Amino acid sequence: MKVFSLQVFCIILYAGILHCHAQARYTFVVEETPYTRLCSNNTILTVNGQFPGPTLYVNKGDTIIVDVINNANYNITIHWHGVNQPRNPWSDGPEWITQCPIQPGANFTQTIIFSNEEGTLWWHAHSDWARATVHGAVVIYPENGTSYPFPEPDAEVPIILGEWWKSNIYDVYDEFLQTRGDPNTSDAYMINGQPGDLYPCSSPGTFTLHVDYGLTYLLRIINAAMQDILFFAVANHSLTVVGSDASYTKPFTSDYIAISPGQTIDVLLCANQMPDHYYMAAKAYASTFNITFDNTTTTAIIQYSGNYTPSSTPSLPNLPLYNDTNASVNFTGNLRSLADVDHPIDVPTNITHEFFYTLSVNAFPCPNTSCAGPNGTRLASSINNISFVNPSIDILEAYYNSINGLFGTQFPDFPPLVFNYTAQYLPFELEIPQQATEVRVLDYNSTIELVFQGTNLVAGVDHPMHLHGFSFYVVGWGLGNFDKDKDPLNYNLVDPPLQNTIAVPINGWTTIRFKANNPGVWFMHCHLDRHMSWGMNTVFIVRNGNASNARLLPPPSMPPC
C-alpha cells in the first residue's frame, strides 16, 4: 500500500543552497498468501498480498522511502534492481553483502535514491529464493517538463515474466541445497502472474491486454524468472525496442526479444492488425546440452476492441528454437545507446584497471559420490576460480566499522590458470574451485574494463551478469575465447548499450566498461539463482573520494544479524 502522506526531504547542495522536496512513502508488508495455480493450492510470499507485487511509479531523480515490514516466517531483504543508489548501499538489499536479513516480525526503512535511470526497472527479494514471488515493476518517467525520445504511447503496460513451482519455493530451495545438484525445474512460466491457457486450470486467469486498432502501447518487459533467459514475441506483430535497463536505445524492430533474468526491455507495440485475439508468448532459451529445463510456453492475450467474431484459437507467435544461440546473441547485439544530445553517453576511454573474469560451473568431490552433480559431485560455480562464501556479518557493516577477518581484499584481476576456456574436454582438476570471501577494492573515479569469459568447465552456459550500484557500457562480445590482440579492435565506443545486466553467451565473452564513481560496497553476481547460490559472485568496494559529495552516506538503523 502507498502511504498518502509526504515527507519533506532536504539536502544541502555543494553550493550551500538548501533544497527541499516532497518524498513519497510506501509500505511493503511481506506476508504469506494463499494462491491457486495449475489446479493446486500453494502459499507464497507476497508484498501486500499481491503477486506480482505493487508497481512503483517515480520520476527521474526522485527519492522515495519504503518501509519493509516482515510478517512472514522467513528472513527477507529487498533489492532495487538497477537503481544505482548513489553513495547509499545501505538500502541496496542483498543479504550478507549490504545488510543482514530482515527477520520475521522485524522491519527496515529503505531510502531509494534515483539518479540517471529513466525507463523500466524492478524490485525483488534478494534472500534465498524468495524473489520467485516477491518482485514488482518500477516505472521511471522522465523528469517533469521533459518527454520520451519517441512518440508518446497511448498506453503503458508492465509485462512481468516469471516462473511458478507447484511446490513451496523454500522446499525446492532446501532440496536443491541438500542434493547439491541442479534444482527442480519450474512447472510453468508466467506473464503478470498467470501461466496462460496452454496450462491446465489456467484459462480463466490468463492476462489479457485490451487494445484499440491504430494505437501504440509501450510494453515494459521484465524477466523475473529465476533460472532462464526467455524468448518473447507477439503473434503477427513486430516490436520496436526503445529501451533496456532504464536507458534509451536506438529504436530497432524485431519479431522477438531475448531477455535475461534481471533485465528489462521497453518495446512499442502498434495495434495495426486485423481485429482478433493474438497470443503474446514466452519460452526458455536453454543452450546447455543435456540440462533439464522447463520447456513449456506461457501466453497472454492481445484482444482488439470492436464487434467481430474472434478466431477459435488465438495465433501463436513464431519463437526461436529453445537452443538458438544465434537468435539470442543477435538480438542482444542489436542494442545501441540512443546517444543523442539529450541523452549523451560517456564511455570510459582512459582505462585504469583491466580485469579478466572467468565464469565457470564447477564441481567438488562428494564422499562416496553421494551428491546429485555429475559423477556424484557437488555442483558449484566461480569467478576466477573463487567460489564466493557469504560472511557471518554483512560486508558493508564490516567495511564501514573496520571489522577485520570477515573478508579478504585479494580478489584476482585475472584467473589463476590460463587454458583453452571453451575446449570441449577439460581436465577434471580444473573443475575444483577455491572457496573464499574475497573482494576487489577500487579507488574512487577509477575506470574499469572488465572482460567476462565463459568457460566449458562441467557445462558451458550463458551467464546473465548483474552489477549493483552501477550501469555499465557493453562495448564488445563474441563467441569462443577472447583474443586480447584482435577483439578490442572491434569494440563499440560510439554508442554501446548502457545496461545493468548482460548475458555473457555460452562459451563466449563480453566486455563492459564503467567508472567507479559510487562509493560503497557493491555486489556483482550471475542472475541465474542456482549459479548465485553456488558462488558465482564477487564484491567491489569503492573507496570514498576527496569531496564531500563523493563519500559514503552515514548508515541508518540497520537490521541486526
- pLDDT of residue 108 exceeding 70: yes
Mean pLDDT in residue range 144-148: 94
Answer for the pair 363, 431: CB distance below 8 angstroms, yes or no.
Answer: yes
- pLDDT of residue 408 exceeding 90: yes
In the chain, how many H helices and how many E strands? 4, 33
Query: pLDDT tens for residues 424-458?
Result: 999 988 999 999 999 999 999 999 999 999 999 99
The pLDDT of residue 461 is 95
Q: Give, as one character, the DSSP assignment of residue 198.
A: T
The pLDDT of residue 447 is 98
Q: Which residues pair with 68 in a beta bridge?
A: 28, 108
The pLDDT of residue 289 is 77
Query: pLDDT tens for residues 415-425?
Result: 999 999 999 99
**Cα(403)–Cα(395) distance, integer angstroms:** 9
Backbone angles phi, psi at 34, to 5 degrees: -75, 135
Answer for the pair 133, 170: CB distance below 8 angstroms, yes or no.
Answer: no
Q: Which residues pair with 378 in a beta bridge?
A: 364
**Cα(394)–Cα(127) distance, integer angstroms:** 13
Neighbours of 16 (CB within 10 A): 6
The secondary element (H helix, E strand) that includes residue 20 is strand 18-37
Mean pLDDT in residue range 166-175: 95
- In the block, cell 509501450 appears at 218
Mean pLDDT in residue range 328-345: 96
**Quick one: pLDDT band at residue 22, thresholds 50, 70, 90?**
low
The pLDDT of residue 494 is 98
Helix (H, G, I), strand (E, B) or coil at 170: helix
Max CA separation in the chain (angstroms): 71
Helix (H, G, I), strand (E, B) or coil at 330: helix
- pLDDT of residue 15 exceeding 90: no
- pLDDT of residue 3 exceeding 60: no
Contacts of 525 (CB under 8 A, 6+ apart): 465, 466, 531, 532, 536, 537, 538
- pLDDT of residue 409 exceeding 70: yes
- pLDDT of residue 230 exceeding 80: yes
- Single out the residue of 265, 202, 211, 198 nearest to residue 237, CA to CA: 211
The pLDDT of residue 20 is 47
Q: What is the pTM of this model?
A: 0.95
Amino acid at 427: P
The pLDDT of residue 8 is 44
**Cα(301)–Cα(266) distance, integer angstroms:** 18
- pLDDT of residue 7 exceeding 90: no
**Cα(426)–Cα(419) distance, integer angstroms:** 9
- Joined grid coordinates for residue 38: 495449475
**Quick one: pLDDT band at residue 368, thresholds 50, 70, 90?**
confident
- Percent of all residues in the chain with a pLDDT value above 90, rounded to a whole number: 93
The pLDDT of residue 291 is 83
**Cα(463)–Cα(332) distance, integer angstroms:** 13
Q: Using H for helix, E for strand and C for coil, what is the string for 62-115?
A: CEEEEEEEECCCCCECEEEECCCCCCCHHHCCCECCCECCECCCCEEEEEEECC
Mean pLDDT in residue range 463-467: 98
Mean pLDDT in residue range 278-291: 92
- Joined grid coordinates for residue 146: 521533459
- Joined grid coordinates for residue 312: 477459435
Residues 373-378: contacts with CB under 8 Å, at least 24 apart? 373/180, 373/181, 373/182, 373/458, 374/458, 377/431, 378/180, 378/181
Helix (H, G, I), strand (E, B) or coil at 333: helix
Contacts of 132 (CB under 8 A, 6+ apart): 44, 162, 163, 165, 169, 226
Please, where are the H alpha helices in 108-166?
none
Strands 188-191 and 155-164: antiparallel
Q: Give, as one character, the DSSP assignment of residue 533.
A: H
- pLDDT of residue 186 exceeding 60: yes
How far, CA to CA in Å, does 507 sit from each of 110, 258, 293, 454? Answer: 39, 18, 19, 5
Mean pLDDT of the chain: 94
| DSSP, residue by residue, 479-516 | ESS--TTTGGGG---SS--EESEEEEPTTEEEEEEEEE
**Cα(560)–Cα(393) distance, integer angstroms:** 9
Strands 264-270 and 247-254: unpaired
Mean pLDDT in residue range 42-64: 98
Q: Which residues pair with 504 in a beta bridge?
A: 463
Q: Give, as one character, the DSSP assignment of residue 51.
A: S
Mean pLDDT in residue range 205-230: 97
**Cα(76)–Cα(267) distance, integer angstroms:** 32
